[in-house]
Amino acid sequence: MNPFRYIDSNMKNLVSDLQLLIRQPSVSAKNEGIEECSKLVKKLLAKSGVKSEILRLKKGVAPLVYGEIKSKSNPARTLLFYNHYDVQPAEPFELWDDPPFSGKVKGNKVFGRGSADDKGELITRIKAVEACLKTTGDVPCNVKFVIEGEEETGSAHIEDYLKKYQKKFSCDGVIWEFGYVDSKDRPIVGLGMKGLLFVELSVTESIRDAHSSLAVLIKNPAWRLIEALKTLRDENGKILIKDWYKDVVPFSKTDLDIISKEPFDEKSLKEEFGVDSFVGNLRGLDAKKALVGGATCNIAGIVSGYTGEGAKTVLPGTALVKIDFRLVPKMDPKKQVMRLKNHLKLKGFSDIDVKVFHGEAAARTDPSDPFVTQVKEAADESYGKSIINVSNAGTGPMFSFADILKSPCISIGSTYMFSRIHSPNEFARIDLLKKTTKCICLIMEKFGRS
Amino acid sequence: MNPFRYIDSNMKNLVSDLQLLIRQPSVSAKNEGIEECSKLVKKLLAKSGVKSEILRLKKGVAPLVYGEIKSKSNPARTLLFYNHYDVQPAEPFELWDDPPFSGKVKGNKVFGRGSADDKGELITRIKAVEACLKTTGDVPCNVKFVIEGEEETGSAHIEDYLKKYQKKFSCDGVIWEFGYVDSKDRPIVGLGMKGLLFVELSVTESIRDAHSSLAVLIKNPAWRLIEALKTLRDENGKILIKDWYKDVVPFSKTDLDIISKEPFDEKSLKEEFGVDSFVGNLRGLDAKKALVGGATCNIAGIVSGYTGEGAKTVLPGTALVKIDFRLVPKMDPKKQVMRLKNHLKLKGFSDIDVKVFHGEAAARTDPSDPFVTQVKEAADESYGKSIINVSNAGTGPMFSFADILKSPCISIGSTYMFSRIHSPNEFARIDLLKKTTKCICLIMEKFGRS
């Protein structure tokens, strides 16, 4: 039996192992089930024939699961799979059709928080290695698994892990934790990630909530916050903070060439979210350029006062907003925080407290790297056709991997682009899980031979 | 024994009956314990010698407890006590030192949601009637109790009750549901109430939450709402909606005279809320004028996206804000809603949905009415010194009472001005409950004799 046949006949096992992973909640934002999930991942690796260990930094930091298997045929080439076992919070619970940690299968879909991001991706890689081992008794190249537990809160310690275990993790190429499949079932070969700066701004006007009749005299922190927020961004999404875009590197000719070739299903995207137009009325190439290289200032959450049912005439004491800024190459998160703080000060908002949750720089792999060709070929063979993407619109700690391991990083995977990751009713498509498992086998082969 | 002696020796009963009332949650905003509380009120009235009945309008409307007792000595004069048995929601629970419905007594204070607003006030009136009955076998005037269960959500049906039972409720004077006592223990004889317009504005940009990496394209409803909100009000509290102040009646000479005489403990108010300055830097007479006659636009609550702990990179689908506008005499709530809607339309925010929770006009009793003198004298006698107030900064359905029953309405009561009503750790002061019970006895006497 060859690995592909093995994968075809073992999809039931893949799905049930994915269900096991989903049923173990692992919400890093709430430190819920993290230890338990790391142990479960170690167990699944062992079941597939991969020896692993749980690495730790210090108390309070999520453990990292590290797996390794040496190749007898190509011991000189090492491929590293980067994944994460933690998931986003499942709120709002009431919008899920089934419980978020049920792992319910309906037709071609496995539902649940983490089904796609990132437990689905992880299972394809484990099962690809298993398929090689069970059918050939070997892997086509050395394989390393680096599976962290803090990705969804911003990978606060992956850099420390990479620095501490730089030698252990050394490799010649990194397959990124996820990869998207577009609306026409074409996998995206992703060469980059945006950076992220996540902050919380809060303001307190009075030491306690008051009856709202006092609003003639006592200041309202929600109004204060709104006044500050309005200075950050114009209605077309342009960030108004001084020098915010100063360090941004413009697209190269090659970048623009790849972007212009990249298909973009504008209609499907609009339909998925039920919208008529995009931010700033962007369309076509401009919308594509924004996805690849646009910086944002997004309100991820805002809250003040009474938000339950009915009316409550209260004057709240405090208000807070959570903002994520996506960053693009050469924007330094630390510098951008300073710019934000300076802006607030200059605009007279020194009373607004800025708490930085985390900062992450953007990263991109050179499109001319041979690793890009190997992954692209594997994707074309397993899916029919794949697409190169200069940078994903999302964020991951790719900068740290590229910088510390000195390896090219490429994302390729099984996540259907409308899988509702981070949202209610997240799902993974079983047909894509199968194709991606095969694709990972091909990548190992091509990479081992090179 | 005279009524005063009776009150002195029965304070333990008053406090334990108040505790009974507090321990029965009755949150109208959540329809929690409303039926149960109306029955408890009926029981307490009966215990004090007042025959009562539970009046109903239709399913879904909180019942109204109506009590009545005829005077043998002065059957021609009828005083009506207006109160409410419902309370504000107790959130945020975690800020309470004791459970909000425990009715815990510590020294001179009874704590709990509703201890002051309005169960404390209600108990003084019931106990004043009891004191007269138990010591003289009579009441000095006819007494009617109108105790509703929807005051904290805006008394949506009191007008219907007043219209339906106009004859039953007919009276010569109304004692309002509350009355404040200032920081120097002087009771306020209140002649008016502001109106209120409570609305919820909401906006939906996409049919589901998205991963925030899509913020380059998918619009964020929180930003949209903030843009709209910024057009409503300037940073000094001035409302920017066209013609918002058009119908406002300026203060009369008498009003200004009363306002300028009214003491105002600016320092204590600032200390209580830990603030250095007031909205628009108001001080002294200007601050007093604002409390009596200022219209506000207050954010009572705002929410969108993820508001839990930690970071979640989400792009929310919807955002909403709850706003209460305080209205002053001659502002018609219906007209003001139209002005708000027109404003949003004119400013290009037709996509923002406006839901009106309720509207209530402001009302004021003429300072020259003899009823004012009777109440003022009773308050001076029982407290040492009282203060006349042209209008409270808060809202109640005084306009409906004045308009339908054609009676002067005056507020007088036991609520210490820093009782934290509508906030965590609300309390009633036992010494003030006692003085107010006596004051109510005196009012009945003076009113019966007039």
- Measured CA to CA in angstroms, residue A346 lies from A227, A350, A353, A438, B388 at distances of 14, 8, 14, 55, 46
> Which residue is closest to B213 within chain A, CA to CA?
A394
Separation CA A199–CA A338 (nearest Å): 12
Per-residue pLDDT, A417: 87
Please give the average per-residue pLDDT across B116-138, as a whole number.
Answer: 98
Q: Report CA dihedral (A285, A286, A289, A294) to the nearest 10 degrees.
A: -170
Q: How far is A107 from chain B (nearest CA, A)?
A: 22
pLDDT digits (tens, 9 = 90+) for A227-259: 999 999 999 999 999 999 999 999 999 999 999
pTM: 0.82
Per-residue pLDDT, B99: 97
Query: B413-433 burial, b if ≥16 CB within 10 A, otherwise e?
Result: bbbbbbbbbbbbbbbbbbebb
> Which residue is closest to A395 within chain B, CA to CA?
B213
Say whether A401 sits in a helix, a strand or coil.
helix
pLDDT digits (tens, 9 = 90+) for B46-88: 999 999 999 999 999 999 999 999 999 999 999 999 999 999 9
Per-residue pLDDT, B156: 87
pLDDT digits (tens, 9 = 90+) for B142-184: 999 999 999 988 788 999 999 999 999 999 999 999 999 988 8
Per-residue pLDDT, B309: 87
Q: How far is A230 from chain B (nearest CA, A)?
A: 7
Residue B432's closest CA among B44, B108, B114?
B108
**Is the model's pLDDT at A312 over the cut of 90?**
no
Q: Is A372 left (phi over 0), alpha (psi -120 to 50) or beta?
A: alpha
Residue A322 phi, psi (nearest 5): -105, 125
Say whether A164 sits in a helix, a strand or coil.
helix
Which chain B residues have a beta carbon less than 8 Å from that of A310? Answer: 28-30, 89, 153, 357
Of A152, A205, A300, which has the smallest distance from its Cβ to B305's Cβ?
A300
pLDDT confidence of A205, banded at 50, 70, 90? Answer: very high
Residue B35's closest CA among B74, B62, B57, B9?
B62
Q: Which domains does chain A have, with CATH numbers?
A: 3-193+363-449 (3.40.630.10), 195-248+295-360 (3.30.70.360)
Q: What percent of chain A has pLDDT over 70?
A: 100
Cβ burial of A256 (10 Å; 0-12, 13-18, 19+) is middle
- Inspect the interface and report whether the beta carbons of A212 and B89 lie closer than 8 Å: no
Which chain B residues have a beta carbon less than 8 Å from that of A324? Answer: 212, 215, 311, 313
pLDDT digits (tens, 9 = 90+) for A162-183: 999 999 999 999 999 999 998 8
Per-residue pLDDT, B378: 98
**Is the model's pLDDT at B1 over the cut of 80?**
no
> Which residue is closest to A214 within chain B, CA to CA?
B393
Structure tokens at B169: 């409720």
- Inspect the interface and report whether the beta carbons of A211 and B395 lie closer than 8 Å: no
- Inspect the interface and report whether the beta carbons of A301 and B307 lie closer than 8 Å: yes
Q: What percent of chain B has pLDDT over 70?
A: 100
Separation CA B310–CA A91 (nearest Å): 13
pLDDT digits (tens, 9 = 90+) for B186-201: 999 999 999 999 999 9
Separation CA B48–CA B46 (nearest Å): 5
Which chain B residues have a beta carbon less than 8 Å from that of A149? Answer: none
Q: Is residue B61 within 8 Å of B150, Cβ to Cβ?
A: yes
Please give the average per-residue pLDDT across A157-163, as a whole number.
Answer: 96
Q: Report CA dihedral (B420, B422, B428, B432) to the nearest 10 degrees.
A: 80
pLDDT confidence of B299, banded at 50, 70, 90? Answer: very high
CA atoms within 13 A on the CB side of B329: 18
Which chain A residues have a beta carbon less than 8 Å from that of B94? Answer: none
Neighbours of B56 (CB within 10 A): 12
- Measured CA to CA in angstroms, residue A364 lies from A359, A411, B270, B285 at distances of 17, 11, 54, 63
- Measured CA to CA in angstroms, residue B293 lies from A211, B267, B280, B358, B410 at distances of 16, 21, 15, 20, 17
Per-residue pLDDT, A126: 98
Residue type, A440: I
Residues 6 or more apart whose CB falls under 8 angstroms from that of B406 comprise: none
ipTM of the prediction: 0.82
pLDDT digits (tens, 9 = 90+) for B397-423: 999 999 999 999 999 999 998 899 989
Q: Is residue B213 within 8 Å of A415, Cβ to Cβ?
A: no
Per-residue pLDDT, B312: 86
pLDDT digits (tens, 9 = 90+) for A391-446: 999 988 999 999 999 999 999 999 998 899 989 999 999 999 999 999 999 999 99
- Give the angle A445-A446-A450 at the CA atoms, nearest 5°: 120
Q: Where are the alpha helices (DSSP H) in B211-332?
A: 221-229, 253-261, 266-273, 284-293
